[in-house]
C-alpha cells in the first residue's frame, strides 16, 4: 500500500475535518450496537416479566440512539465532502505544478493521454477512497469488531463459531487482494492508453480527414477499447466470485450459530432475549462482510491509481537548476557550442548498420530511403550518407560553433539532420550528452533555467496558440505588456494588418490550437509573441514555412530593424530566408557538413549547391 500511504498524507491539512469524520463514523455504529442490547432488555425484562415500564424504557433508548445516529451521519457527509474535494484539489494542483517543471525529455517519455488520465481519473479514484472508501472501511471494521465483541460477551461458545467464520472469510479476502490488486493497475494503464489515442486523434483530426483514415482510427480505437473492456470484465469476474463465497460463509456461520443457540435456549443456558440479541449482532457484523468485497475492490483501485499519481510526483525533472546559479547582469547573446553531442532516449546512431540485419519487414519510405524494424519494434531509417538511426530521433555529433552578440546564424539541411535539436539545446530544453553549450561565456547548466529562457525568444517548429484573444496570445510571455507594445510586436511580425481585419481586432477570439487561423497567421502571431519579450537571443525554427515570399521578405526587413543587436538563430528550408545571414551552417547526419556565408557555401559546398539549385532551378 505504498501508493495510498503517500496519498493519505494529503489528509494533514484537513486534520480537524478528518477527526470530525472519524467521530461521526464511529457514533452511528455505536448507536446501532445499542439496539440489539435494548431488544434483549425489552424481551427478557419487559415482555417475559410483563413490565411495560421496561418496554417503554428500552424503546425510548432505541429511539434516541436512532436520532443521534442520523444526526451524526449528516455531519459525516459534510466532513466527507470537504475532505474529498480538498484532497482532489491539492493532488491536482501538485501534479500540474510538477508536470510544469518537466523538461522536453520527461514529456517525450510520458504520453499526454497518460498524464491526463493520472491528473483526472487516477486522482478521482484516490479521492473517492480517501473520503467515502475510508469511512466505509472504518464503519465496516467497527461493526464487525463491535458486534463480535458483543457476541462473545453474550455467549463466548457461540461467539467462537463466528470468529472461525471471520478467519476463513479473511483468508478469502486476502487471496482476493493479492489477485485483483495488480489487475487494477493494468486497467488504469489501458485507460491511459485509450485516452492517449483519443487525444492524439482529436489533435490530428484534420490529418485524419484529409487522408480519409476515419475507419482506420475507428478500428484502432475499437481494438484498444475492447482491450480495456476485457480487462474490466476480468476484474469483474473475480468480484463476482468473491461475493457468493463470502455469502455462503456468512450464512453457514449464521445457520450453525442459530442451530446451536436454539439448543442452548431449550436447555435453559440462554434466554430468548440473548439469542435474539446474538442474532441481531450476527447480522450487524456479518452483513458488512458482504460489502467488504466492494470495499476491497475500491482499495485495490485506489492503490493502483495512487501508485500512478505518486510515480509522476516522484519523477525528477530531467533539467535541474544548479545549486548556485551564475549571475549575469547584462546578457549580450554570445552563444558557443564546444564539441556538443546529443541523442534521444539512449538511441545512438549506428554507423554503416546493414538494414537487413535490423529485423524483418523492411519497408520503403516515400522519400526512397529504406526503413527497417528491429526486433524490439524500433523503427529505423537510413540517411543519405548510409547511416541508420531511429526514425524521428535526430542526433548531434561533435558540433562546435560560435555566434557573437547580434549575429544572424542560419541552419540548413535535410529533414532529420539535427537543426531543431541544435537550437533546442540553447534554452536547455534538453541537456547535451557531451560537450559544453555556453551563453555569454557561462555553461547553460550553470544558468537558472527560468532566467536563461527569459533571455531567449523561441518560435517553435510546431506553432501552438491557446484559446483566448489575439492580444492574450501575443502577450503570453509578457502578460503586463502595454497595448502599444503588443501592436508594435505584431507590426514587426507582419501580423497587424490581418488582425485589424478580424471582427474584434486584438480582442478577437482564437480557438484552441488556433483552429480559426491559417498556418501563416498562426506563425506570425507566434513570432510577435517571441518579439514582445525583447530577448537577447531569438530562435526561429522554420517559423515562416507557411508564409508567402512577399510577406517573408517584409518580415525579414522588419526583424533586421527591430532585432538589431539580437543574436538570431534561423532554422529554414528556403535559401531566400538565409542569404543575408552572417553564418550559415549546413547540417548533415548530425554533423556540420559546411559553414560560411551564402557566397562561400555556394562556391564550396555540394550540399548547399544542391539545395540552392533545387529551389532556383526554373529561374
Chain mean position to CA 358: 33
Give Cβ neighbours of residue 350 (< 8 Å, ≥ 6 apart). Answer: 387, 388, 389
CA dihedral 176, 181, 182, 187 (to 10 degrees): 110
pLDDT in tens, 395-453: 788 899 999 999 999 998 887 788 888 999 999 988 888 899 999 999 999 999 888 98
pLDDT band at 617 (very low <50, low <70, confident <90, very high): low
In a domain, 329, yes or no: no
My answer on whether 283 and 407 are in the same domain is no
Supply the CATH number for residue 103's domain: 1.20.1560.10
In a domain, 323, yes or no: no
My answer on whether 596 and 461 are in the same domain is yes
pLDDT in tens, 23-37: 888 888 888 888 888
d(C-alpha 472, C-alpha 481), whole Å: 10
- Within 10 A of 35 (CB to CB), how many other CB atoms are there? 19
In a domain, 326, yes or no: no
In a domain, 327, yes or no: no
pLDDT in tens, 506-555: 999 888 777 888 888 898 999 999 999 889 999 998 888 777 888 888 88
Residue 202 has pLDDT above 80, yes or no: no
My answer on whether 409 and 516 are in the same domain is yes
pTM attached to this predicted model? 0.70
Sheet holding 396-403, edge to edge: 396-403, 335-342, 434-439, 442-443
Contact 127, 84 (CB under 8 A): yes
Range of the domain at 171: 2-314
pLDDT in tens, 151-192: 888 888 888 888 888 788 778 777 777 777 677 778 777 877
State the average pLDDT over residues 587-607.
87
My answer on whether 358 and 506 are in the same domain is no
Predicted pLDDT at 206: 60
My answer on whether 286 and 423 are in the same domain is no
In a domain, 245, yes or no: yes
Q: Which has the closest alpha carbon to 472: 507, 497, 520?
A: 507
My answer on whether 591 and 521 are in the same domain is yes
Average pLDDT of the residues of the chain: 81
My answer on whether 380 and 306 are in the same domain is no
Residue 394 has pLDDT above 60, yes or no: no
In a domain, 439, yes or no: yes
pLDDT in tens, 273-290: 888 888 888 888 777 776
Contact 577, 410 (CB under 8 A): yes
d(C-alpha 527, C-alpha 460), whole Å: 9
Predicted pLDDT at 38: 86
Residue 615 has pLDDT above 90, yes or no: no
Predicted pLDDT at 327: 83
My answer on whether 303 and 413 are in the same domain is no
In a domain, 117, yes or no: yes
My answer on whether 114 and 200 are in the same domain is yes
Is pLDDT larger for residue 349 or for residue 585? 585
My answer on whether 415 and 310 are in the same domain is no
Domain count of the fold of the chain: 3
DSSP E strand boundaries for 319-387: 335-342, 363-364, 370-373, 379-382
pLDDT band at 486 (very low <50, low <70, confident <90, very high): very high
My answer on whether 365 and 420 are in the same domain is no
In a domain, 273, yes or no: yes
Percentage of the residues of the chain whose pLDDT score is greater than 90: 13
d(C-alpha 178, C-alpha 169), whole Å: 14
My answer on whether 56 and 26 are in the same domain is yes
Amino acid at each position: 500500500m505504498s501508493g495510498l500511504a503517500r496519498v493519505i498524507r494529503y489528509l494533514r491539512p484537513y486534520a480537524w475535518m478528518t477527526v470530525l469524520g472519524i467521530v461521526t463514523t464511529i457514533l452511528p455504529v455505536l448507536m446501532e450496537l445499542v439496539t440489539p442490547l435494548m431488544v434483549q432488555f425489552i424481551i427478557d425484562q419487559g415482555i417475559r416479566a410483563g413490565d411495560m415500564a421496561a418496554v417503554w424504557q428500552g424503546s425510548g433508548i432505541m429511539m434516541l440512539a436512532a436520532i443521534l445516529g442520523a444526526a451524526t451521519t449528516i455531519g459525516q457527509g459534510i466532513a466527507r465532502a470537504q475532505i474529498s474535494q480538498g484532497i482532489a484539489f491539492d493532488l491536482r494542483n501538485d501534479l500540474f505544478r510538477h508536470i510544469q517543471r518537466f523538461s522536453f525529455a520527461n514529456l517525450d517519455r510520458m504520453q499526454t493521454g497518460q498524464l491526463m488520465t493520472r491528473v483526472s481519473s487516477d486522482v478521482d479514484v484516490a479521492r473517492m477512497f480517501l473520503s467515502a472508501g475510508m469511512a466505509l472501511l472504518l464503519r465496516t471494521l467497527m461493526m464487525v469488531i463491535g458486534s463480535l465483541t458483543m457476541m462473545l460477551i453474550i455467549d463466548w461458545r457461540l461467539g467462537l463459531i463466528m470468529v472461525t467464520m471471520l478467519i476463513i472469510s479473511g483468508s478469502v479476502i486476502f487471496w482476493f487482494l493479492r489477485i485483483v490488486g495488480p489487475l487494477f493497475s493494468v486497467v488504469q494503464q489501458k485507460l491511459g492508453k485509450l485516452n492517449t489515442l483519443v487525444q492524439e486523434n482529436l489533435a490530428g483530426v484534420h490529418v485524419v480527414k484529409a487522408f480519409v483514415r476515419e475507419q482506420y482510427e475507428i478500428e484502432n480505437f475499437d481494438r484498444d477499447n475492447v482491450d480495456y473492456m476485457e480487462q474490466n470484465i476480468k476484474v469483474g469476474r473475480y468480484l463476482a466470485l468473491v461475493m457468493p463465497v463470502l455469502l455462503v460463509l456468512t450464512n453457514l456461520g449464521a445457520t450453525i450459530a442459530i442451530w446451536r443457540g436454539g439448543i442452548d435456549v431449550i436447555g435453559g443456558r440462554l434466554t430468548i432475549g440473548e439469542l435474539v440479541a446474538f442474532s441481531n449482532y450476527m447480522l450487524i457484523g456479518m452483513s458488512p462482510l458482504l460489502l467488504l468485497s466492494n470495499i476491497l475492490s475500491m482499495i485495490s483501485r485506489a492503490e493502483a491509481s495512487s501508485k500512478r499519481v505518486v510515480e509522476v510526483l516522484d519523477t525528477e525533472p530531467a533539467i535541474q537548476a544548479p545549486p548556485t546559479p551564475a549571475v549575469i547582469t547584462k546578457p549580450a547573446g554570445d552563444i558557443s557550442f564546444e564539441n556538443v553531442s546529443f541523442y534521444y532516449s539512449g538511441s545512438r546512431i549506428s554507423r554503416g548498420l546493414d538494414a537487413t540485419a535490423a529485423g524483418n519487414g523492411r519497408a520503403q519510405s516515400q522519400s526512397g530511403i529504406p526503413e527497417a524494424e528491429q526486433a524490439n519494434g524500433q523503427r529505423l531509417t537510413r540517411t543519405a550518407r548510409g547511416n541508420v538511426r531511429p526514425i524521428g530521433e535526430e542526433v548531434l555529433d561533435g558540433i562546435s560553433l560560435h555566434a557573437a552578440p547580434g549575429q544572424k546564424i542560419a541552419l540548413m539541411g535535410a529533414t532529420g539532420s539535427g537543426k531543431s535539436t541544435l537550437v533546442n539545446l540553447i534554452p536547455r530544453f534538453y541537456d547535451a550528452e557531451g560537450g559544453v553549450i555556453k551563453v555569454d561565456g557561462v555553461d547553460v547548466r550553470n544558468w537558472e533555467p527560468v532566467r536563461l529562457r527569459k533571455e531567449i525568444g523561441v518560435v517553435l517548429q510546431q506553432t501552438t496558440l491557446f484559446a483566448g484573444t489575439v492580444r492574450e496570445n501575443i502577450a503570453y510571455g509578457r502578460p503586463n505588456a502595454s497595448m502599444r507594445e503588443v501592436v508594435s510586436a505584431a507590426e514587426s511580425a507582419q501580423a497587424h494588418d490581418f488582425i485589424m481585419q478580424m471582427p474584434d481586432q486584438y480582442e478577437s477570439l482564437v480557438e484552441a490550437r488556433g483552429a480559426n487561423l491559417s498556418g501563416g497567421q498562426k506563425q506570425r502571431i507566434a513570432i510577435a509573441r517571441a518579439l514582445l519579450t525583447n530577448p537577447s537571443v531569438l530562435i526561429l525554427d522554420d517559423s515562416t514555412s507557411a508564409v508567402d515570399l512577399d510577406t517573408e521578405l517584409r518580415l525579414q526587413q522588419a526583424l533586421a530593424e527591430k532585432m538589431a543587436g539580437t543574436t538570431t538563430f534561423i532554422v529554414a528550408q528556403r535559401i531566400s530566408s538565409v542569404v543575408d545571414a552572417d553564418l550559415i551552417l549546413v547540417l548533415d547526419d548530425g554533423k556540420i557538413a559546411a559553414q560560411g556565408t551564402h557566397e562561400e557555401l555556394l562556391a564550396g559546398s555540394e550540399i548547399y549547391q544542391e539545395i540552392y539549385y533545387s529551389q532556383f532551378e526554373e529561374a
